[in-house]
């Protein structure tokens, strides 16, 4: 489900120009798509809230139009993106424009109870950059905090993974877990098949149907093409 596409490759020689990036997203997602995604995200956030500490700050990395951060409960809500997307965010969300993997140099370290990423890591230039981005997430996450990641799984998606021009790096649930544990996260929850790959389907996307889907895990085995990863920065690390 392309529900949270945000920043793109982080090294200068790998980046899609921001003007081109805006044009890609404008052609890929219509205003109707944005409204539909909001409907989906209200329900997805209601499900994900169990992994998010509402009493601590939360960070949405590569927020795009803020579908997650606008619909999640937290004491502080922060968002980053390679583009200036403040027009899409609601009051009370702290936005920081970040270009590259230097997130920890412009955000408070050891601060966030939850660091969230959705449909983002596949846009990074290679596996080394993925690991560095997760290392940055570890740095800004507080001890006892979590990283929550929604990630298209190339093993489940197959060739359609490359239907998006800005997809660069192939990941499965196993490589995602390996990368997160490499930088210090301890895996707490991993669902190989969770959400569908894209919202651009003929399936109805009413709030009720999305809610039913999330409450019926057997349906995930049929339609799930994205993995859900939850890792913890264990205290003392």
Specify the DSSP element, H or E, that contains 8.
none
CA dist 138 and 180 (Å) reads 9
Q: d(Cα 149, Cα 232) in Å, to the nearest integer?
A: 12
Q: Kind of pairing, strands 76-81 and 186-191?
A: unpaired
Does the pLDDT value for residue 168 go beyond 80?
yes
The domain 12-232 is placed in CATH, from the list 3.30.450.270, 3.40.50.150, 3.30.1490.20, 1.20.59.10, at: 3.40.50.150
Q: Give the tokens for residue 91.
A: 């009051």
Look up the pTM and report it. 0.86
231, 187 contact by CB (below 8 A): yes
Q: What is the pLDDT of residue 99?
A: 76
pLDDT at 215: 96
For residues 56 and 180, give the distance between their C-alpha atoms in angstroms, rounded to a whole number: 21
Q: Yes or no: say if 121 and 189 are a contact pair by the CB < 8 Å rule.
A: no
Phi and psi based region of residue 64 (left: phi greater than 0; alpha: psi -120 to 50; beta: remaining) = left
What average pLDDT does range 85-103 have in this prediction? 91
How far is the C-alpha of 148 from the C-alpha of 58, rounded, in Å? 10
In this structure, the dihedral spanned by the alpha carbons of residues 199, 196, 233 and 14, taken in order and rounded to 10 degrees, is: -60
Looking at residue 210, its pLDDT comes to 93
Length of the chain: 237
Q: What is the mean pLDDT of residues 31-58?
A: 88
CA dist., res. 77 & res. 81, Å (int): 14
Residue 6's pLDDT band (cuts 50, 70, 90): very low
CB 53 within 8 A of CB 111: no
State residue 10's pLDDT score.
36
Quick check: 13 pLDDT over 60? no
Max Cα distance, the chain (Å): 48
H-type helices in the chain, by residue range?
18-28, 31-48, 103-106, 127-140, 154-157, 173-182, 207-214, 217-223
């Amino acid at each position: 489900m392309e529900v949270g596409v945000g920043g793109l490759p982080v090294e200068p020689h790998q980046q899609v120009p921001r003007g081109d990036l805006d044009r890609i997203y404008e052609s890929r997602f219509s205003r109707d798509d944005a409204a539909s995604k909001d409907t989906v995200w209200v329900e997805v956030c209601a499900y994900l809230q169990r992994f998010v500490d509402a009493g601590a700050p939360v960070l949405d990395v590569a927020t795009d139009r803020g579908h997650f951060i606008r619909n999640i409960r937290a004491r502080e809500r922060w968002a980053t993106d390679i583009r200036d997307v403040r027009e899409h965010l609601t009051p009370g969300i702290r936005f920081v424009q970040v270009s590259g993997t230097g997130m920890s140099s412009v955000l408070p370290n050891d601060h966030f109870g939850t660091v969230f990423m959705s449909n983002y890591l596949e846009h990074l230039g290679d596996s080394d950059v993925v690991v560095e981005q997760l290392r940055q997430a570890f740095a800004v996450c507080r001890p006892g905090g979590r990283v929550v990641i929604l990630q298209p799984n190339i093993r489940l998606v197959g060739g359609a993974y490359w239907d998006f021009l800005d997809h660069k790096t192939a990941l499965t649930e196993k490589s995602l877990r390996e990368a997160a544990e490499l930088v210090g996260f301890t895996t707490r929850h991993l669902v190989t098949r969770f959400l569908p790959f894209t919202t651009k389907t003929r399936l109805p996307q009413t709030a009720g149907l999305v809610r039913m889907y999330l409450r019926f895990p057997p349906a995930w085995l049929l339609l799930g093409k994205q993995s859900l990863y939850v890792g913890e920065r264990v205290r003392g690390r």
